[in-house]
Amino acid sequence: MFKMEDISMSPSNTQDLDLLTFEGDVFLPVTENDFNISSYLTGDASSEVTLDVATIVVPDMKYSPPNQFIPISPRGPPERKDESEKCNFVVEIDGSRTQKKKFLYSYLLNRIYVEMGSNFSVNFNWDVSKVPDREMYIRATVVFADPDQGEKRVERCFQHVHAQWNAETTDAVVVNNVLRSARELGDPNVYYCGNPDETDCWYSVLVRLNRPTGHAYSFVCKNSCGSGINRRAIDIIFTLEDSRGIVYGRQSVGARACSCPRRDMKGNEEELKAAGGKRRKLPPKENPIKKVKLELVTNDDNQVVTLPKIDIVGPRAAITSLKVANSMMEQQRATNRSHQQSVEELDRCITAIKKIIDNLESKYKLNVL
């Protein structure tokens, strides 16, 4: 064995230690399976029992950090076809246990009826022997049920996006999604996917599960809201995925976020029974070509209006009102450009209103989305 007092390392492949003094004797045991320490000592050090200075050459070693999961945000309209053959994936909702709660489930319509902000639980089951990993992911994506609306992304209405209780988060992906996990924001096993700036990037909630089990969700917008869902029927598409985003199962459930779940469910079931007890199918289209409606710009839309001096209670309400006006003017500017019309006045007004918004947000230390 070797006795070392001072050790210094060469600068090429080592770190220099100006003074590294070990108190007492430091012994390096050597067995027949150990590496030959003499190969790491420069000079004729192997023949000395006591070394005043030795240089240990440390091999280059690179640290490999653990793999970090990065969730995928799918693009384009989500696939709707049910898929259960790969691993017997099943989505289950126990309607018998929802009678005294704020949500109901209609077996007849395959639809959830729930109050906004109330949790509803969904159970997921699959054959664990037919999936590659123990940990799998459930993605919940809200879509419009009508195929004619299928290319439009579902997002929250303007009113609920700017509600004060959104102060719990400033993440635009979370704020604009109509669906939430019942777990607290920041849970390491829940991911909110999507991109507010790219309309072909759908919002979804991705949850990591290590076994077949249930998960609770809630809606933060209503079907009846004037914008956003805007009284249109919606479905939730649940997909079972691995960490790479490969889909192993898919199943859809209808949903309605409303103020009176029992009344709405009863009314919809009666309508279906009156129609013959089967879901009504849309008639086939004669022309599959998508029609785009073009709106002509009128002179009134480009007329500059000077508002009288008004008082608004609450800085958040004032900023929100200005942002609504700014958003509408930006849409008008895009329309004018598409029709090769003047945007000079619009640019001037947009610049002025943005300056006012920035000043108000700075003064009251607010960041209204």
- Binding site as annotated, residues: 157, 160, 221, 225
Closest to 234 in 3D by CA, of 121, 138, 175, 147: 147
> What is the C-alpha to C-alpha distance for residues 256 and 348, in angstroms, rounded to an integer?
43
As annotated, the binding site for Zn(2+) includes 157, 160, 221, 225
Closest to 349 in 3D by CA, of 338, 367, 336, 340: 336
Q: How far apart are the first and last CA of the chain?
A: 69
Can you read off the two tokens belonging to residue 47? 């023949």
Asked if 147 and 126 count as a contact pair (C-beta separation under 8 A), the reply is no
Helix axes 315-338, 344-364, angle to 10 degrees: 160
Asked if 199 and 235 count as a contact pair (C-beta separation under 8 A), the reply is no
Q: Give the burial string for 190-224 (b: 16+ CB within 10 Å, else e).
A: bbbbbebeeeebbbbbbbbbeebeebebbbbbbbb
> What is the C-alpha to C-alpha distance for residues 265 and 95, in angstroms, rounded to an integer?
12
Which one-letter amino acid corresponds to residue 364? Answer: Y
Long-range contacts of 269-274 (CB under 8 A, 24+ apart): 269/106, 269/108, 269/109, 272/108, 272/109
Where are the alpha helices (H) located in the chain, listed in sequence order?
Answer: 158-161, 172-176, 261-274, 315-338, 344-364
Which one-letter amino acid corresponds to residue 362? Answer: S
Full DSSP string of 3-56: EEEEEE--TTTS---S--B-SS--B----TTS--GGGGB-SS-TT-SEEEEEEB
Asked if 124 and 214 count as a contact pair (C-beta separation under 8 A), the reply is yes
State the residue for tokens 């003064």: 363
> What is the C-alpha to C-alpha distance for residues 167 and 187, in angstroms, rounded to an integer?
17
Closest to 70 in 3D by CA, of 193, 175, 182: 193
